[in-house]
Amino acid sequence: MAQTSEASESSAGGVARAKTGITSLDSILNGGIPKGNLVLLTGACGTGKTTLALETLSNAARAGEHGVFLSTTEPVSRILENAATYRFFDKATVGKTIHFVDASSAFESLELESVFTPKNVDEALAWLSKTVKEKKATRLVIDSLTGICYRVGKPELVRDFTFRLGRELGELGCTTIATVETPAGVMAYSTFGVEEAVADGIVLLGNHDARGYLLRTLQVVKMRGTTHSRARYVIDLTSHGVIMVPMLKASMRGE
């Protein structure tokens, strides 16, 4: 059974929302992410994907929801070490409302190949669903989806895997944020060019050069189940959490 909390509410249109807890982001999403959506948090290295994803999970935990943080590229110890530098993160939630899982260790224990066979894909999806149910998680962060997709391999298989991932977790009432790595300076929404077609949402993080100062930016490109702003915002990753301001205002400040 999916849990309910202050972080999940119904909008005026009757759509159940999974609030990110980032006020400005929830506002441009007309109340938050539609519950059960698979959202790609995509961008180049250093654009703030992991931090933003971790903050949404921490905010949900503060509101009483359980979540899983699945790391595919870094040891959990390193993730926790970095998380401890943010005031929005409460280490008391670790192992209670937020469960950190090392994907490499999990896949190794399942004896999955480094390059997934079709059977391995089924096993990986079954394990993910089982983990979400066991932890009673209504939130999942995959950091990064790219790390898993490289194991899946071919674009057509990646597309099918992403589709099934979103469908199966959505049916469990779990809202998923998956970080996706793209090359710097390249306009792309995913690594293989197919993930964005089947994902429910795309939040694009980028960099903007303002007279030699590199600003982080955020833009909601797509979000099924809700109206939303498609404007670009400048974000600042503070120890207290993400701060967002409209791009126009940020540009005017720099002049």
Report which of 219, 217, 181 is spatially closest to residue 202, judged by C-alpha positions.
219
- Could you tell me the CATH number of the domain that includes residue 137? 3.40.50.300
Q: Does residue 193 belong to any structural domain of this protein?
A: yes
Domain that holds residue 25: 10-254
Per the domain annotation, does 166 fall within a domain? yes
Q: What is the pLDDT of residues 172-220, one digit of tens each?
A: 999 999 999 998 888 889 999 999 999 999 999 999 988 788 899 999 9
In a domain, 157, yes or no: yes
Residue among 12, 42, 53 at smallest CA distance from 30: 12
Q: Which helix (H) or strand (E) holds 141?
A: strand 139-143
Q: What is the DSSP letter of 228?
A: -
pLDDT of residue 92: 96
3 in any annotated domain:
no
What is the chain's pLDDT, residue by residue, as a tens digit (255 residues)?
Answer: 344 444 555 454 588 999 999 999 999 999 999 999 999 999 999 999 999 999 999 999 999 999 999 999 899 999 999 999 999 999 999 999 999 999 999 999 999 999 999 999 999 999 999 999 999 999 999 999 999 999 998 999 999 999 999 999 999 999 999 999 998 888 889 999 999 999 999 999 999 988 788 899 999 999 999 999 999 999 999 999 999 999 875 554 444
> What pLDDT score was predicted for residue 8?
53
Cα–Cα distance measured from residue 90 to residue 99, given in angstroms and rounded to the nearest whole number: 12
Domain presence at residue 2: no
Tokens of 251: 């540009």
Give the CA distances from residue 106 to residues 37, 103, 109, 113, in Å, rounded to whole numbers and listed in that order: 24, 5, 5, 12
In a domain, 1, yes or no: no
For the chain, what is the domain count? 1
Q: Look at residue 4 and tell me if it is in a domain.
A: no
Q: Tell me what pLDDT residue 13 has.
A: 59
| Cut 0.85: pTM above it | yes
* Residue 132 covered by a domain: yes
Q: Give me 186's structure tokens.
A: 């390249």
